[in-house]
Structure 1
Amino acid sequence: METTGSHREIDLVASLKEGNEKAFELIYDRIAHRLYLFILKKVGIKETAEEILQEVFVALWNNRNAMDANTFLDPYLFKIAKNKIFSFMRSEHVRKKYAADFTLFIQKYSDNSLEEMMDVKDLHQVLHERIAELPDKCQTAFRMSRMEHATISQIAERMNISTRTVENYITQALRHLRTHLNTLTALFFSLFFIF
């Protein structure tokens, strides 16, 4: 990279660290397309690639204050993308594994009634409906924890609340779900989201 380019990138990072939205937009315009193509090549699903790309730039904005002033944006953003891709692939592997385990359980223990042989998507819908019954902040914390695999401290930082409050929200959500799900759906939930 030429010296002028280096200085321009240093200026962009400095402006970003100060919360300059225009700098953020310039970085997005410069790198987003290449980043998207890289992610798409790895995950093979357009919608997923778009979601991961969005997550990368959300992470860039949320973590801007922690960036080193001499950060080179390309390697920094591609590293974030690789981590997001890895998390996605790991969660997909886990979901597929437990979906297979759940199917075997149904085949072995079900009485073959229509209710118990519900499609996995139907069960997933029931779970999301029950989660939607929770207060907004409780829902947000729970979804971050169980669906985005965020840590308690990450959730606390993103929601600007204490880790104790996050733990209380998650406990409240789990108690609600255990109370309002039938036995079979509760088993499905435990396999997919781990109580």
Structure 2
Amino acid sequence: MEHIKAIKADNHEIFSRVYEQYHHQIYGFILQRTQSDYIAEEVTQLTFIKLWKQRNNLSEQLHVNVQLFGMARQVMIDLLRKEATRFKYEGESAATPFTDSLIDTIESKDLLRLMEQDIQNMPRTRRLVFELSRKRGLTHKEISQQLSISTKTVEQHIGKALLQLKQHLYSIML
């Protein structure tokens, strides 16, 4: 998180280190999803440009890699949407449904993967309460009986879990 502070303070050396550390990972992340060298190169470059331009809006509570991969994902989706629009106006409409479904698939899979990671990183009881509620569909009363905790405690765990997920998703969308 000290990288964020340094980048926010216009430290070019730290920014260069972050670039060296993550540009291959960002490239691979995008290449895996799009199977396009061109898009992977473009998105990688645009991601680091975005990181620098939006450095003052970075969260000091999140690691640089979390914010960087979130930016890369958003840049990729934006680029794919621009390509779909370009295809429409150039009369290549056959490519548009493919691009749209690719965007939807990427967004869904990434979102589910990120949410599952967030759930796994929750404290044990919070995670258990959340999974019993959202994955198994148990009521608050059923959960409280099963775990021998009050329904109020169940509500608090679910509220904290949802808040944690919302905060992380919000930081990704920046």
> What TM-score does the superposition give when structure 2 sets the normalisation length?
0.49
TM-score (norm 1): 0.44
When Rg is computed on C-alpha atoms for both structures, the one with the higher figure is 1
RCO (CA 8 Å, sep 6+): is it higher in 1 or 2?
Answer: 2
